[in-house]
Structure 1
Amino acid sequence: MPIQPDGRPPPRVFSGVCHGTLGELFQGPLQRAGEPDIALVSFPVDRHSWRYFAPDPEGPPDPLPPGEKSARAAGLFLGHYGLTLPPGRWSAHSDLRVGVGMASSTADIVATLRCLFRLFRLPCDLRVVVGVLSAIERADSVFLDEFALYLSGRHRLERRLGTAVGFHTAFVTEAGTVDTAAVTPLLMRHYRRRATEYERCLTDLLKGFSAADPAAVARAATTSAVLSQEVLPKATFEAVLAHREEFGADGVFVAHTGCLVGYLFARRPSPSLKGGLSEFFHSLGHQCSFAQGGYG
């Protein structure tokens, strides 16, 4: 084991990791007890948030992880189990941009909790994770390693959708951020006006997942994105939608309460297609990114 300059062995480091999202494949109403709730089918992406904790006798007592929400999550975890953190130091890293629809804050919270489960050698209890999230914010299902239909306000898992569907994506991030809580009343009014269309869209999406049919899922995701454009429009959306067939994309996705817009491909785009996509998005004033989303 390598030795530090002062002769002490380095502290063991414990980590927690959680993936983020590229917005959602669906966001819309789901009727429960007479009133619609906001239901999500988040779009997991292979980009992550990390939290690290290194116990260190010379570190600060009662150390808190970086970030207000992560610090609160740690406090709730410790209170639930009646535990106290040893002296030590937290550090963090994230691939996820804040405020654009990548579930960065939720991923930070889950990564913090997973780090604490490892530190205290406790099995990761999803009930504790959901309980902590519900005390902090409306959230999605990044704590699951599969697609899911999830009620973000009630923090309730409605239906597991498995891991049979995956996509390659080309996307851009528009300028600005969206405050999900602030736009919720606007969304609910829109959902009531378009309830029939959302119900049909969700039915088609769930059928696509049941059949493990990425093309059907992509079509339904496009419908959800089109409906979202009516209430929280994206500046580049109409151009992206208009060129979908030209690029052979299976569908279009957005961060419904964020700033992401992009294409869904069931097959990996070729280098020449990536070049064409990059030129197209650059003509719209944006740098194109590529990432793998979902599973499959």
Structure 2
Amino acid sequence: MKLGKGSCNGTFGELVQGTIGKRPFLITLPIPSLRSEAIFIPDPTVSEITGVDSKVKAMKAGKLLFQQFGLKGGGLLDIRSNIPVGKGMASSSADIVAAMKAIAHSYSLPLTKEMISTIASKIEPTDGVMYDEVVAYDYIHGELIESFGVLPPFIFVGIDLGGTVDTIEFNQFEKAYNRYDQNHFLKAYDWVKEGFRKRNLSFICKAATISARVNQKILPKPSFSEFEKLAHEFQGGIVVAHSGTLVGILIDRNIPNSTEVVLHLSRQISVIVRDPNIKPFYYFSNEIMNGKNISLII
């Protein structure tokens, strides 16, 4: 055994979330600059995994991983994260994944994404962040449905509308989706597949907007129609945290005068929100770097 390290990205809500048939699913929007970093210091003389109280879910995941591989002992789990909690950015899922990776690194365990999913789903609905790429994922049962790959080049301007949402509590009640909503989810799923197949972000933007509209009757976002009009102005889409407090605008990275566009979006979002204490934030992707060169500007 050795000092173990693990990390995991967060997300900005979801591109799509709903049900197909009776199966719950989401399509991830990973943001690599949002990260949970874990360090595990093994100690064979103790019988528990310890850490700060705020990371109890990650410690529970570590305990289940120990049981999975029949490990004895324990250790200290230290997790540092820049992912806001209760916003819909996969903060606790990222902690759980990073913790398991750190323990696996410490003990050289043959940990798979499927194992991570199984353990994570025993603790809470999980966001599919054990996969670096964009995936369709059953967040209740912890199962991969389909992998799509890396998003086409994009710019994203988002905002946190305030407050928090308890994901576990939120997912305890059944969502009031009707057959029209189900048809919308099928359409959105197909748009995502087409967007990745053709490397065309506009299809993915359409899918995200469809899903965000349906979510308005589940967890409505204030001033949604104004955000949607602003997105339409630049042929973009609306992305929301379906169980969180976030709303954002997704647009093509190759749009002319992209810097000016981002500044315009920022100003207009500030006008919509009408709260000087709430500031937009930005994510940029660069396909040349295979989707990994993401910068966060606050």
The structure whose Rg is larger is 1
Aligned to 2:294: none
**2:279 aligned with 1:291:** no
Distance 1:185 1:13 in 2: 38
CA displacement at 1:141 relative to structure 2: 1.0
- Where structure 2 has 5 or more consecutive residues not aligned to the other structure, the ranges are 292-298
Aligned to 2:139: 152
Q: 1:104 aligns with which of 65, 81, 91?
A: 91
Aligned to 1:172: 159
Map 1:24-39 onto structure 2 (within 5 A): 24-31=14-21, 36-39=22-25
Distance 1:27 1:82 in 2: 36
Aligned to 1:235: 222
Give the 3-state SS of the residue equivalent to 1:190 in structure 2.
coil
Cα 1:235–1:113 shift into 2, 3 Å: same
Q: 1:41 aligns with which of 16, 27, 33?
A: 27
Aligned to 2:240: 254
Distance 1:13 1:62 in 2: 16
Distance 1:203 1:187 in 2: 24
Between 89-98 and 73-82, the greater mean CA deviation after superposition:
89-98
Aligned to 2:125: 138
Distance 1:70 1:209 in 2: 33
Scaled by the length of structure 2, the TM-score of the pair is 0.84
Give the 3-state SS of the residue equivalent to 1:202 in structure 2.
helix
Map 1:1-296 onto structure 2 (within 5 A): 13-31=3-21, 36-46=22-32, 47-55=34-42, 62-66=48-52, 67-85=55-73, 89-184=76-171, 188-192=175-179, 194-246=181-233, 248-267=234-253, 270-283=258-271, 284=273, 285=275, 286-292=278-284, 296=291
**Deviation digits for residues 56-102 of structure 1 (CA, Å, limit 9, x no counterpart):** 79x97734233110111111011111113455x43221111111110
Letter of the 1:48 counterpart: R
Aligned to 2:296: none
Distance 1:107 1:150 in 2: 15
Contact 2:153 2:253 in 1 (8 A): no
**Deviation digits for residues 214-258 of structure 1 (CA, Å, limit 9, x no counterpart):** 111111111111121132110132221122233x25211111111
Contact 2:231 2:250 in 1 (8 A): no
Aligned to 1:5: none
CA displacement at 1:197 relative to structure 2: 2.2
State the aligned residue count.
Answer: 279
Distance 2:138 2:80 in 1: 28
Scaled by the length of structure 1, the TM-score of the pair is 0.85
Between 159-168 and 143-152, the greater mean CA deviation after superposition:
159-168
Contact 2:4 2:104 in 1 (8 A): no
Contact 1:249 1:264 in 2 (8 A): no
Give the 3-state SS of the residue equivalent to 2:177 in structure 1.
helix
Between 237-246 and 285-294, the greater mean CA deviation after superposition:
285-294
Contact 2:124 2:168 in 1 (8 A): no
Distance 1:78 1:127 in 2: 16
Cα 1:242–1:164 shift into 2, 3 Å: closer
Give the 3-state SS of the residue equivalent to 2:48 in structure 1.
coil
Distance 2:77 2:8 in 1: 16
> Identical aligned pairs, as a percentage?
29
Letter of the 1:289 counterpart: F
Cα 1:61–1:182 shift into 2, 3 Å: closer
Give the 3-state SS of the residue equivalent to 1:150 in structure 2.
strand
CA displacement at 1:18 relative to structure 2: 0.2
Give the 3-state SS of the residue equivalent to 2:176 in structure 1.
helix
Distance 2:172 2:74 in 1: 43
Cα 1:198–1:61 shift into 2, 3 Å: closer
CA displacement at 1:104 relative to structure 2: 0.6
- Where structure 1 has 5 or more consecutive residues not aligned to the other structure, the ranges are 1-11
**Deviation digits for residues 194-226 of structure 1 (CA, Å, limit 9, x no counterpart):** 222222222222222222221111111111111
CA displacement at 1:55 relative to structure 2: 4.9
Distance 2:19 2:37 in 1: 32
Superposition RMSD in Å: 2.5
CA displacement at 1:162 relative to structure 2: 1.6
